[in-house]
Amino acid sequence: MFKRFTCFVIFFFLLFEAQSQLSMSVHEPPSGLVQKNQLWNITLIWSSHTTINVRISLSLLDAKENQPVMRAITRTFLLVNGINQLKASDVEPVDYNYLSPAFDLSSMPQSLLPVGSYRACYTVYSDDKNSDGGLLSENCFNFQVDPLSPPQLNLPADSSTLETPYPQFNWLPPTPIILFNDLNYDLLVTEVQQGQTASEAIQENLPIYSAFRITSPFNNYPSSNKSLDTGRLYAWKIIAKNGDALIAQSEVWTFRIASKDSVLVTPPVTGTYLELKNEGSPVNAALITGRMLGVKFYSYDSTHDGTIRFTDSKGKVAKEIKRTIQYGNNFLVIDLGNSFTPDEIYSIQIEDLQHSLYKGSFRISK
């Protein structure tokens, strides 16, 4: 019994001595985007005059949930006396084990880590044939991976006045989009009360409209909902998520609905939009019901006033209207009025600032 106790004390002393001979410093990656190979920027200071074979294991945890999302272990490499500055090429090949679907993005060491808050814990083990494979050093640190940019609002433009009380919301995804395996959005729209800022309204007021887990960067205010009131100020915001994890939030923009003295229109009955295409692309005539025409047009120009021209089958101009054209997707709703004859095919065109034409055609059913 005494011999067994003595062996244990000797082993513990040797292990403590080995640990005291090694100190580890991990170079935390800068906030923002992080590549997997950046996790291996480590300094090991070995004070013994003998060399030793070691391995490093890494456990990466979700800092909020405290759940492991990735584990990795390096090859065995030689540690010499003094300061050992390590990088990924010094410890490769590395065996990675992904414990979260969001992490199985690429087998390449240059692949980016998904957006989130993490805790990285390192353990250095002796791998010498003459040793018992004991633990030599441990170290942990927290870091954050952020997207380069949050979602960017597009339409309705900030502080704009809309002709329709059924707006279409449009935004740009956070970048780089390859960081996300389940990108989705929450949309919040609320009324701004007197004395409130737009940000205060979003935080404090109940939404008058909200949509969750939107998978495309646009959303229509439903025609089945109560129309938005004229003359009121509304605020809207986008929250981007990867699965259920928050990624980033957009700015808060505002818009108004035109006053009662302005002509208001409702969304197309079918809820669909006629997409205008480059001149020369094949165009099929769309059949519409009623007098409300929805038009989708992607503009590569900055915000400007554009002319929408309608012509009949003989090329005669039937109607011209002015609209503000925004960069990106434009979803326009146009009241055709009584200028069009049912069953006749009409053309619609928009000319961009480079004088390229975008066209479509339609006919109104009887």
**Three-state secondary structure call for residue 333:** strand
> Is residue 268, in this structure, part of any structural domain at all?
no
Whole-angstrom distance, CA of residue 362 vs CA of residue 346: 5
**195, 242 in Cβ contact below 8 A?**
no
Name the residue type at position 359: K
Same domain, 94 and 109: yes
3-state helix, strand, coil in the chain (%, to 5): 10, 45, 40
- Residue carrying structure tokens 């001149």: 279
Same domain, 109 and 189: no
> Is residue 11, in this structure, part of any structural domain at all?
yes
> Is residue 225, in this structure, part of any structural domain at all?
yes
Last-in-domain residue among 121, 145, 169:
145
Last-in-domain residue among 112, 130, 145:
145
Whole-angstrom distance, CA of residue 358 vs CA of residue 274: 12
pLDDT on residue 48: 84
**Three-state secondary structure call for residue 78:** strand
> Is residue 78, in this structure, part of any structural domain at all?
yes
Same domain, 36 and 126: yes
Q: Which two tokens stand for residue 3?
A: 């011999």
> Is residue 265, in this structure, part of any structural domain at all?
no
Alpha helices in 44-182 (DSSP H): 88-91
The count of domains in the chain is 3
List beta partners, residue 116.
145
CA distances from 345 to 3, 39, 240, 281 (A): 102, 63, 42, 17
Same domain, 285 and 220: no
Same domain, 104 and 168: no
**Three-state secondary structure call for residue 89:** helix
Same domain, 6 and 140: yes
List beta partners, residue 167.
none
Whole-angstrom distance, CA of residue 16 vs CA of residue 272: 72
pLDDT digits (tens, 9 = 90+) for 26-61: 887 776 678 888 899 999 998 888 888 999 999 999
> Is residue 303, in this structure, part of any structural domain at all?
yes
Name the residue type at position 217: P
Q: What CATH number is given to the structural domain containing 291?
A: 2.60.40.3080
Same domain, 282 and 250: no
> Is residue 250, in this structure, part of any structural domain at all?
yes
> Is residue 264, in this structure, part of any structural domain at all?
no
Q: Which two tokens stand for residue 257?
A: 């609905």
Same domain, 207 and 295: no
Q: What CATH number is given to the structural domain containing 194?
A: 2.60.40.10
> Which portions of the chain are predicted below pLDDT 50?
1-19, 261-267, 269
Print the domain residue range for 98: 2-145
Whole-angstrom distance, CA of residue 159 vs CA of residue 256: 7
- Mean pLDDT score of the chain: 81
pLDDT on residue 294: 82
Whole-angstrom distance, CA of residue 288 vs CA of residue 335: 12
Last-in-domain residue among 145, 174, 198:
145
Same domain, 107 and 19: yes
pLDDT on residue 106: 53
Same domain, 6 and 141: yes
Whole-angstrom distance, CA of residue 246 vs CA of residue 184: 10
pLDDT on residue 10: 40
Same domain, 21 and 133: yes
CA distances from 88 to 78, 110, 211, 313 (A): 15, 10, 43, 67
Same domain, 115 and 198: no
pLDDT on residue 64: 81
pLDDT on residue 3: 46
What is the torsional sign of CA 314, 317, 321, 323? positive
pTM: 0.50
